[in-house]
Each structure stands twice: as C-alpha cells, then as structure tokens.
Amino acid sequence: MYDVIVIGAGVTGCGIARELARYDWKTAVLERASDVCEGTSKANSGIVHAGFDAKPGSLKAKLNVEGSRQMESLSKELDFPFLRNGSLVLCFDEKDIPILHNLLEQGLQNGVEGLEILDREQLKRLEPNISDDAVAALHAPTGGIVCPFGLTIALAENAAVNGVEFHLDTEVQRIEKTSDGYLVYTSRGEFETKVLINAAGVYADRFHNMVSGEKIHIIPRKGEYCLMDKKAGGFVRHTIFQLPTVYGKGVLVTPTVHGNLLTGPTAADIEDKEAVNTTEPGMEELLRRASLSVNGLPVRQVITSFAGLRAHEERGDFIIGEAKDAPGFFDAAGIESPGLTCAPALGRYLAGQVLAYLPAKEKPGFIAARKGIPNMGQASLQERQRLIAENPLYANVVCRCELVTEGEILDAIHRPLGATTLDGIKRRTRAGMGRCQAGFCSPKVVEILARELGKDVGEISKRGEGSRFLTGYLKDSAEASESERCESGKAAE
Amino acid sequence: MKKDLVIIGGGPAGLAAAIAAREAGVEELLILERDCRLGGILNQCIHNGFGLHTFKEELTGPEYADRYIGKAKTLGIPYRLNTMVVDLRAEGQQKKLTVMNREEGLYEIEAKAVILAMGCRERTRGALNIPGFRPAGIYSAGTAQRYVNMEGRMPGREVVILGSGDIGLIMARRMTLEGARVKLVAELMPYSGGLKRNIVQCLEDFGIPLRLSHTVVDIKGRDRVEGVTIARVDGNLKPIPGTEEEISCDTLLLSCGLIPENELSQGLGAAMNPVTGGPFVNESLETDKEGVFACGNVLHVHDLVDYVSQEAEAAGRKAAAYLRGGLEGTGRVVSLRAAEGVRYTVPASLDIGRMEEAQTVRFRVGDVYRDAAIEVSCDGRILRSVKKKVLAPGEMEQIILKKQELEAADNPKEIVISVRTQGQGKEA
C-alpha cells in the first residue's frame, strides 16, 4: 500500500514528486514511457515566463510568478541550466501599443518586477536583428530560459534519491475506488494507494474521468518547433514574443540555454494524443510567423524540427487540487504554458494540499541538493582539466558536435534513474543534439549503453521497446566480429 | 608540445598529406585522429573501386587506407588516436591547438603549420526539414554503412532511400545483398547526385527504381519507422499535391549531400566559401590564414578518394615548402572565378610566380549538360575550350592550368571557368 502515487513523470509529475519526497510518505511515480520527460516536457519552448500573461488573482498567475522567482535558486540547488535572459513582447502596430500597456499593468498586479515599455530605438539597440516592423515592445527582464530536460530530470533524480519509487514502462490502464483510496491497474501489475495524483499531461482527462463525474476534456494543442545550429545562437539574446492571441503566446524566437536558436510553437488543436509529428503546413506557418519578429531568420541553420502537444483544458485554466467527488484524487491537469515555469511552485502547492488530506512528518534526512552531470562542452579550461584529472574518460570525446565525453555518458547511465536509451543519453548529456544529429555518435553511444547495461547492442533502443535501432545480424554472420573492434579511448596503438 | 606540422584528421587526406610532408623533409609532424583507428571513413567502405587512378588497380576502402597507413608507419610518422582537437587558433605565425584524449588529458600543441583534413559529415533529416514523426529507423547512409560493415548488424529490412548520393547508392546494393528489400531511391533533383557507375552497378543491376524529382514528404511511425510518403516535385522543388504515394518500410536512409566539417576552420577565422562549405585556398592549398592548409573533403566534397590523395599530397608538399620558407608570395596573383554553369573552383586564386608548372583546378557544375564544353579564359581571352559529352553535378571536373601560358599573358588578373553549351545545350 502506497501513501501517494503520481501518474506521469513529466515536469509537473516530477515537480510534485520532489515536493512529496520531503515527507515520510511511501510514494511512487508511474510512467508509461521508458524514461522521465518523454511527453510534453521534452518538446516545448524551455521558457521561464516572467508572469505578466496570466489573469491577476488566478492560481496560474500566482504559480507563474512564484515559479519564476524560485527558478534561479532551484537551478543552483538541483544543478540544471537556467539563464535569466529577459523577454520582449513585440507590437507591430501603433494602435496595439495600449495592449502592451495592459500587459504591463497586468504584470505589475501579478508582482512581476522590472517591466518597461521600449520604443523602436530602444528595442533596436537591445536586439539589432529585430524586425523593422516592430514599433514597440514590453521588456520583462525577469523572463528566463531553462533546459526543460535538465529541469525535469533534476526534479526526478532528486525525488528518487529521497526515496520516491519510479516505475517506468508502467502504463495506467484502469483506476478503481477502494474504501480508503484507489487501486491502480497498470501494464505492470496493481498498485494500491491512499492518495492518487493525476499529472498525466494530455491524458489527464482520461484518468480524471475514471474517478470523477465532473468530466474534463483535454485538447492536445500541437506546437511545432525548429531548432537552429549554435552558429545561429547569438542571433537574438532575449526571448522574443509577439502580442498574444487566443491560441496563446504565439510564435517566439529565443536562444536556448545551450546556445542554439529556437523558434516555435505553432498552435493547432487536434484529436490524436499521440500525434507528435511535424507537418509541412506547420513548418511553413512557423517560419512565416517567426520571420515577422526578426530580420533574416537563419532558416538554413535548422538542425532539427519537433512537435509537442500542450495539454489544453477546454476551459483554458489549470485544474489543480482534489476532485470534488473523488476524495484523495488530486489533479494537476490542463497544465499548458506556463506549466514548465510553474512546476516547482505547483509541486509545493499540491504537496501542501495532500498534506492537509493525509498528514505526514517531514523526513529528517531529506537531501535538497543534487549535483548534475558535468558538461565538458561548456566547462572552462580549468574545470575541464580538473574533471580529466579526476577521470580520464572525460577526455574521450564520443559526440564531436556537442563535445560530450565517455565520462559524461557513463555518468548518465549510472546515476539514479539513469539513462537506458539513446534519447535518455541525449537528454542528459546532449550527445546527438548537435549539427550532425547523432550520425557519428549514435553507434558509439549504443555500444556504450549495451556494454554498461549488460545487453546486446541489438536490444538498445531510441526510447524503449518498439524503437530498437537494429533488426538483426547480417545474413551470414551469427555475431559481429569482435577482433576488429578497436579499443575505445586509446591514443596510441 | 611543439611541432612543425600538425595534421588534423587521419583519414585518406591526412595520411597522404603527412606522408608527402615527411617525404619532403618535415621531421616534427603529428597526425591527430578523433576515431579509434587511422583511415577515416574508408574503413567502412568495404566495396571495391578505390585506387584505379592512384594504384591502377581496384581496391576496397580498407585496402586503399592500408597502403597509406602502412607507408605512414614505415616512415615512422607519429599519430594520436581518439584525440579530439577542441580548439584551433592562430597567434601571429604560431598556431595553437587545444587537444584532448584519455591518456594524455587536455593539452596544448604549438605548431608552425597546420593541415586541415577533418573530412565531412552527412546532411541530416533535420537540415532537410522532412516533416513527420521522429522514430527509430532513420539513418544517414553512412551511419547505416557503419552498422552493416563495421558491426555486422542490419539497421532495417525494408528500406527507402532519399537522395542518390554515392553512399546511398552503395548502401542500396549492400543492404540488398544482405537480404533487405530496398524499395526505391527518391531523388529531389531531376538528375542523380552520384557517380554514373554507381547508378548502374548499385541500382540498375539490382532492379532498384530511381525516382528522380521525388522527395519524402512524411514519415510515419511513432516508435519505429512504419512508412514514408513520397511525392513528385515541381520545377521549384516543391512537392506537387496529388502525387503522394505511401510506401511501407521500416527504414529510411538519407544520402542527401555531404557537408565539410569546418567548425575548427571557422573558429580559426579562415575565410569560407559558402558554395563548397570549405575554406578558400590558393594554389598551394593554403587558407587565408598563413601556414594553415586544407585538403580532402574538408576543403570540398570529392567523389573519388584518388583525387583526395592527390590533393592532400600537394598540401603536404606545400606545407613542407612553407616550413622551409619557400612559399613566399610573388604578388603576381590571379583570381579564379566560377561563371556560367560552374559552381566553384579550388583553388580560388593562384600566385603565378609560386605555382608549379601544371596546376590542377577542380570544380563542379551546377546542372546536367550534354555535348558542352568547359571554357577557360583569362581576362576575356579564351585559353582553351574542352569538349565534354556529359557534365553532371555528381562528377567532379578538373582542368590543368600551365604556368607557361599564364606567364605569357600580360599581367593577368582573372581566370574564368564556365560551361559553354552548344547544340542541344543543357538537358534539365
């Protein structure tokens, strides 16, 4: 019997799990994918919103501003990449300038600091590549960018270190109400729990509606993105928004914390909760709209495109808290933007609600800090030398584009909730995220994964069963010739 | 560590350059190779057809590489494997490289001269912006080649190939021989990007259809590729609605072009040619950074390794001359310009006083031409016109410029190389 179970290991579920880990509950997270951060959390803008968009007085506004304020200290505590680069909301028509002032006013009410309106000249000085059509902008210096994988994985690892069980490849199929909680049927057996938390992203309506008569409806809102080479990373310094529309904050152009340039998302409401495919019209629309914000968007530098599904609840607000007719069932549903920003604050808020329902004591040995995987690509010369002195494998480069070493890949595999798939390695170390898109390093990473996990290379997958890379041996050979394999890492023969 | 010459890359270009430099008397030299063996991508090219020009015999890739590796070892040329050059910069005439490997850690090498021989990488699905899902089963042709030829593993069973570059053509045959079903090769352009001999020997001989003016417009399958949609493209290379065709497959191979790997050259600040993706070089294969030379696929993408070796030998000799102080410019510089039909030239300039008696100029055309001529002119005067039955973007062309003919010209300024169409003219 568990005290608390969380469905979903995205940023929201992991944010909640990390806060639950502070108390002496027996807690588990159930995730259908083979890793954490496999849904919406892996395909979004990576923005820490300043908090001027949300309606004053709303929970969204409160959690956004809190989340934004906490992010910097949290990034130090949990060691994930975060940068407060500031954001700009562009206005293209003189007659829309009052809307910028409304946003500023709203931001002030929400407690956002440092907001100011910039005229065209000030804007151009701040961002030389900004579109000539921009007439003014709202500047929010507290806006930031974060690595969404880094944040999610950090929260998850820290929760795991503090005793939260993570059950991956575990898909929830059915939920039954029991006398003192819930019985959760999954693809890997049954779990009984007193409290059940629903952080299932685009599937949150399915689980909510299994226990509650007050139905909700999550509409997957597809957003397509293009990621550009680090050579284009300095194209803009701030996160560049356009004035919001009914579909959200619109297409943005932003640097990423790792120095790439990112543009997206589009917004299209769809039915299929699995449709994370990009589309030709989507890409066209995306590049057209992004080009409104900046002059000469470096489209030739695109290294990859992807799509994510925002969990848009049809009433347009977060649904957070205990379901009215289902005691002990707590929702964190409809968490669309600014969900990433809110995650840490949302976790604390929901943990507080659970505490009121099921009292618990704070764990005396809670470990708040976490040390991330070193990043040789971004480390200083001194830091590189120190790491190599500690472990020479930090000098053996596996991913040439992002300068990821064998040492970092071994860290990613052997830490708590370690990577078991190529995508898992990619999100933890950036191996394969560069301009060659894993062309050179994927065979090497597959080999290291197999070696370290005691598996055959044929069993290694992109993101779990069903996505294996290899389909067998050559017709004449029962196994690969081992004699030809050269020893990785030796500088001289 | 101090060296006279450092060669970045131990593939065919780096090896040939190092051997030529040593034979020209450079003692203090070092090859830095990032992979775990010398020979570069030749190690996975187990098909034959290498060396017809260099050795007058047909070798496999590993055999070709082995001849150079053997020679480098006989000459006692030092090299480092699994060694990554993290940074390359110039401080005056001194070049500084920051390198790292497992055994020696992170350290700096000072070199008087550097030869860039880092090769190239393959264009990716992301750079092509192919819409659809992002499942397992999408490989660059070279990655698939590595799995098959180096690891003895099959990356898939039912294959569609996008792009008719040489590696894709070679892999169409290779995977067919290993029991996979290669359904078709789709090529965006109205002509193939590969060598004619590969079209015949790798596709036609196996009955694999080549669909020109076609591209992949969608990829299906959330976890593993389940199929692709191809469509015909119009004259602007845009897919034509209504021509879509769904093809089930578990694998999509991409062979859509190679990109010189010039991150180090760009970090150094060398002037780059946007057409080739490589640095601009003069007749000595020297970049605009003094004492930094380039050769092989990092300079411009070649079809035949034999020409890579030739070019690299020249780079090695010139680097040796530079180290002896024998590469002083004479100021009699002529620029080379690619005009009608010609996309670029290597070199981009030459110093008449410094050039050898015969200078090879390599280039590619931008379209398919039949019964055309390559015209070489100097300041408006036609030096020569070479008739060609077929010219195609997939085949590198070359002409020879003679020192004598340039010395004879009156203070020449510019040499122009162009395609002269006659009769039917251009095909496409």
| One-letter amino acid for residue A116 of the chain | E
Is A437 part of the contact surface with chain B (CB cutoff 8 Å)?
A: yes
pLDDT of residue B269: 97
- Concatenated DSSP letters for A25-59? --EEEE-SSSSSS-SGGGSS--EE--S-SSPTTSH
Write the ipTM: 0.94
* Span(s) in chain A for CATH 1.10.10.1100: 381-459
Nearest residue, CB atoms, B124 vs list A439, A461, A468? A439
Give A119's strand partners: A136
CA distance to partner chain A, nearest, from residue B236 (Å): 16
Is A279 part of the contact surface with chain B (CB cutoff 8 Å)?
A: yes
Count CB atoms within 10 A of the CB of residue A303. 24
Nearest partner of B329 among B346, B349, B315, B348, judged by Cα: B349
pLDDT tens-place string over residues A39-59? 999 999 999 999 999 999 999
Nearest partner of B377 among B426, B408, B339, judged by Cα: B339
Percent of chain B topping pLDDT 90: 95
pLDDT of residue A486: 67
pLDDT tens-place string over residues B239-266? 999 999 999 999 999 999 999 999 999 9
In chain B, which residues have their Cβ closer than 8 Å to the Cβ of A229? Answer: none
Subunit contact B124:A466, Cβ cutoff 8 A: no
- Concatenated DSSP letters for A376-403? TTT--HHHHHHHHHH-GGGGSEEETTTT
Among chain A residues, the shortest Cα distance to B120 is held by A436
Subunit contact B223:A464, Cβ cutoff 8 A: yes
Q: Could you give all domains of chain B from N- to C-terminal order, each with its CATH number? A: 2-121+259-328 (3.50.50.60), 124-256 (3.50.50.60), 330-428 (2.60.40)
Among chain B residues, the shortest Cα distance to A384 is held by B106
Place of tokens 């803009």: A236
Q: What is the mean pLDDT of residues A424-432?
A: 98
Confidence grade of residue A34 (pLDDT, cut at 50, 70, 90): very high
pLDDT of residue A381: 92
What is d(CA B62, CA B12) in angstroms, rounded to the nearest whole number? 10
Give B85's strand partners: B99
Task: Report the Cα–Cα distance between both ends of chain B, in Å, rounded.
Answer: 55
Residues 161-200 of A with CB under 8 A from B: none
- The pLDDT mean for chain B works out to 95
Three-class DSSP category at A97: helix
Is B242 part of the contact surface with chain A (CB cutoff 8 Å)?
A: no
pLDDT of residue A485: 63
Retrieve residue A478's tokens: 């029962």
Nearest partner of B133 among B218, B247, B252, judged by Cα: B218
Is A489 part of the contact surface with chain B (CB cutoff 8 Å)?
A: yes
Retrieve residue B19's tokens: 């051997």
Q: Is the pLDDT score of A185 beyond 80? A: yes
pLDDT tens-place string over residues A68-111? 999 999 999 999 999 999 999 999 999 999 999 999 999 999 99
Q: Which residues of A are catalytic?
A: 49
Count CB atoms within 10 A of the CB of residue A311. 28
CA distance to partner chain B, nearest, from residue A471 (Å): 5
Q: Is the pLDDT score of B26 beyond 50? A: yes
Interface test with A, best of B36, B107, B298 (most A CBs within 10 A): B36
Nearest residue, CB atoms, B36 vs list A279, A305, A486? A486
pLDDT of residue A476: 56
Retrieve residue A296's tokens: 């000469």
Computed from CA positions of residues B383, B388, B392, B397, in that sequence, does the dihedral angle turn out positive or negative?
negative
Q: What is the mean pLDDT of residues B189-217?
A: 95
Confidence grade of residue A248 (pLDDT, cut at 50, 70, 90): low
Computed from CA positions of residues A50, A53, A54, A55, in that sequence, does the dihedral angle turn out positive or negative?
positive
H or E stretch at A239: strand A239-242
User: How many distinct helices (H) and strands (E) make up chain B?
Assistant: 9, 28
Helix B141-149 with B166-177: angle, nearest 10 deg: 40
Subunit contact B81:A466, Cβ cutoff 8 A: no
What is d(CA A44, CA A260) in angstroms, rounded to the nearest whole number? 14
Residues 243-302 of B with CB under 8 A from A: 250-251, 266
What is d(CA B69, CA A431) in angstroms, rounded to the nearest whole number? 30
Tell me the count of A-B CB pairs closer than 8 A.
Answer: 173
Q: What is the CA radius of gyration of chain B?
A: 22
What is d(CA B63, CA A257) in angstroms, rounded to the nearest whole number? 45
Confidence grade of residue B179 (pLDDT, cut at 50, 70, 90): very high
Nearest partner of A226 among A141, A183, A269, A285, judged by Cα: A285
Is B143 part of the contact surface with chain A (CB cutoff 8 Å)?
A: yes
Give B220's strand partners: B227
Q: What is the mean pLDDT of residues B353-382?
A: 95
Retrieve residue B38's tokens: 């010398």
Instruction: Decide the pairing of beta strands B414-421 and B369-378.
Output: antiparallel
Superfamily of domain A2-357: FAD/NAD(P)-binding domain (3.50.50.60)
**Phi, psi of A324, deg, nearest 5:** -60, -45
Q: Is the pLDDT score of A384 beyond 70? A: yes
CA distance to partner chain B, nearest, from residue A486 (Å): 6
Is A382 part of the contact surface with chain B (CB cutoff 8 Å)?
A: no
Largest CA distance in chain B: 67
**Phi, psi of A154, deg, nearest 5:** -60, -45
pLDDT of residue A474: 86
Instruction: Decide the pairing of beta strands A319-322 and A329-333.
Output: antiparallel
Nearest residue, CB atoms, A396 vs list B98, B102, B223? B102
Give B88's strand partners: B97
CA distance to partner chain A, nearest, from residue B390 (Å): 31
pLDDT tens-place string over residues B215-230? 999 999 999 999 999 9
pLDDT tens-place string over residues A435-491? 999 999 999 999 999 999 999 999 999 999 999 999 998 875 545 454 456 666 778
Cα B35 to chain centroid, rounded: 18
Is A468 part of the contact surface with chain B (CB cutoff 8 Å)?
A: yes
Among left, alpha and beta (phi > 0; psi -120 to 50; other), residue A381 is alpha
* Span(s) in chain A for CATH 3.50.50.60: 2-357
**Phi, psi of B337, deg, nearest 5:** -125, 135
Superfamily of domain A381-459: BFD-like [2Fe-2S]-binding domain (1.10.10.1100)
Contact B185, B203 (CB under 8 A): yes
Nearest partner of B32 among B65, B89, B80, judged by Cα: B80
Retrieve residue A287's tokens: 């590049």
Which residues does A291 contact at the CB level (< 8 Å), separation at least 6? A131, A297
Contact A194, A2 (CB under 8 A): yes
Subunit contact B124:A437, Cβ cutoff 8 A: yes
Nearest residue, CB atoms, B157 vs list A305, A388, A471? A471
Q: Is the pLDDT score of B37 beyond 80? A: yes
Among chain B residues, the shortest Cα distance to A465 is held by B223
What is d(CA B187, CA B417) in angstroms, rounded to the nearest whole number? 28
What is d(CA B166, CA B197) in angstroms, rounded to the nearest whole number? 10
pLDDT tens-place string over residues A352-379? 999 999 999 999 999 999 999 999 999 9
Subunit contact B132:A278, Cβ cutoff 8 A: yes
Nearest partner of B301 among B311, B315, B314, judged by Cα: B311
Where do the DSSP E strands lie in A364-487?
397-399, 404-405, 472-473
- Concatenated DSSP letters for B123-177? PPHHHHT--B---BTEEEHHHHHHHHHTT-EES-SEEEEE---HHHHHHHHHHHH
Percent of chain B topping pLDDT 70: 98
Q: Is the pLDDT score of B72 beyond 90? A: yes
Helix A339-357 with A148-161: angle, nearest 10 deg: 20
Contact A5, A27 (CB under 8 A): yes
Q: What is the CA radius of gyration of chain A?
A: 23
Q: Is the pLDDT score of B423 beyond 60? A: no
Q: Is the pLDDT score of B428 beyond 70? A: no
Contact B350, B334 (CB under 8 A): yes
CA distance to partner chain A, nearest, from residue B276 (Å): 15
Which residues does B76 contact at the CB level (< 8 Å), separation at least 6? none
Retrieve residue A246's tokens: 């009914």
pTM: 0.95
pLDDT of residue B424: 46
Residues 153-182 of B with CB under 8 A from A: 153-157, 178-179
- Per-residue buried b or exposed e for A436-455, using 16+ beta carbons within 10 Å of the residue's own CB: bbbbbbbbbbbbbbeebeee
Subunit contact B152:A457, Cβ cutoff 8 A: no
- The pLDDT mean for chain A works out to 95
Count CB atoms within 10 A of the CB of residue A61. 23
pLDDT of residue A491: 83
Confidence grade of residue A393 (pLDDT, cut at 50, 70, 90): very high
Among left, alpha and beta (phi > 0; psi -120 to 50; other), residue B213 is left
Residues 206-245 of A with CB under 8 A from B: 226-227, 231
CA distance to partner chain B, nearest, from residue A446 (Å): 11
pLDDT of residue A487: 62
Nearest partner of A32 among A351, A465, A488, A487, judged by Cα: A465
Subunit contact B153:A474, Cβ cutoff 8 A: yes
Place of tokens 């090879």: B360
Place of tokens 């030092």: B78
| One-letter amino acid for residue A311 of the chain | A
Subunit contact B154:A280, Cβ cutoff 8 A: no
pLDDT of residue B426: 45
Contact B308, B16 (CB under 8 A): yes
What is d(CA A75, CA A154) in angstroms, rounded to the nearest whole number? 9
Q: How many CA atoms lie less than 13 Å away from A328 in the CB half-sphere?
A: 20
